[in-house]
Structure 1
């Protein structure tokens, strides 16, 4: 896989994983349905999906070349990016009008 394709894969996966907690009622997308899955469950899922995304990104980085050391700044930016990408799902779940 080329480095360019790896970047696009990580970006698309990030958009998918950031919105997944808001578009389904299952715990971690495979568990049992939860009738009133609250915001705390959704945020926990978002944190765990961010960890999955980090693991996939590190794996792809290792396949394409030397892995770079990541400081706290990287993880702060990653958190902000995941929260930004989760905004459409949050709006769809919590802010849209119910008819």
Structure 2
């Protein structure tokens, strides 16, 4: 696998993982719940952010040496992950429901 394909895999995985808490009522798309609260969705979002980060680190280490990251990297990627979650948030909370 080359750098370009692994980068696209991480980006697509991040988009899917960022929207997953908002498009279903299951915890991590596995455990059925009657209703998920906003706080549970936020916790799920941050757990999925960490999971995507681990997968990205594994892919990076397979391509060569993984670079060490400082807090700035994690702050920027967390903000980017929240931006990627915006379509799911709009779908769940801001879309007008017609009766």
Instruction: Please give the TM-score of this superposition, normalised by the length of structure 1.
Output: 0.96
Matched, 1:35 2:34: yes
Q: Which residue of 2 aligns with 1:15?
A: 15
Question: Which has the larger strand fraction?
Answer: 2
Counterpart of 1:51 in structure 2 is 50
Q: What RMSD in Å do the two structures reach over aligned CA positions?
A: 0.6
What secondary structure sits across from 1:97 in the alignment? coil
Unpaired runs of 5+ residues, structure 1, are none
- CA drift of 1:38 comes to 1.1
Who is 2:67 aligned against? 68
Structure 2 residue runs of 5 or longer lacking an equivalent are none
Aligned length: 98
> Which ranges of 4 or more aligned residues in structure 1 deviate by more than 2 Å?
none
In the TM superposition, residue 28 of structure 1 has moved relative to its aligned partner by: 1.1
Q: Aligned partners of 1:36, 1:13: CA distance in 2, in Å?
A: 25
TM-score normalised by structure 2 residue count:
0.96
